[in-house]
């Protein structure tokens, strides 16, 4: 039996959008209203997380991860 894809309700999507908007406002506020600085900070965080993921993948055997994580 194949499970049907999970669909978000309209209310769930609105809540998610609200949380994202609040997060965007918070990061910009944390950077003194400078959207470029906020974006730069977020890109640096993403880069750090990608490098951390890559380091972790080296420690996990291919068989264990079954090649699912890229």
Q: pLDDT averaged over the chain?
A: 84
- Of all helices (H) and strands (E), which one includes residue 15? helix 10-30
pTM score, whole prediction: 0.62
Q: How confident is the model at residue 30 (pLDDT cuts 50, 70, 90)?
A: very high
Report whether 46 contacts 38 (CB < 8 A): no
Residue 22: predicted pLDDT: 94
- Of all helices (H) and strands (E), which one includes residue 35? helix 35-59
Report whether 14 contacts 8 (CB < 8 A): no
Domain extent listing, the chain: 10-65
- Measure the CA angle with vertex 19, ends 11 and 48; round to 5°: 135
């Amino acid at each position: 039996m194949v499970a049907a894809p999970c669909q978000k309700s309209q209310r769930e999507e609105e809540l998610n959008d609200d949380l994202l908007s609040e997060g965007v406002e918070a990061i910009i506020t944390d950077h003194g209203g400078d959207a470029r600085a906020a974006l730069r900070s977020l890109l640096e965080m993403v880069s750090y997380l990608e490098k951390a993921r890559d380091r972790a993948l080296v420690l996990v055997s291919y068989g264990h991860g079954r090649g699912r994580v890229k």
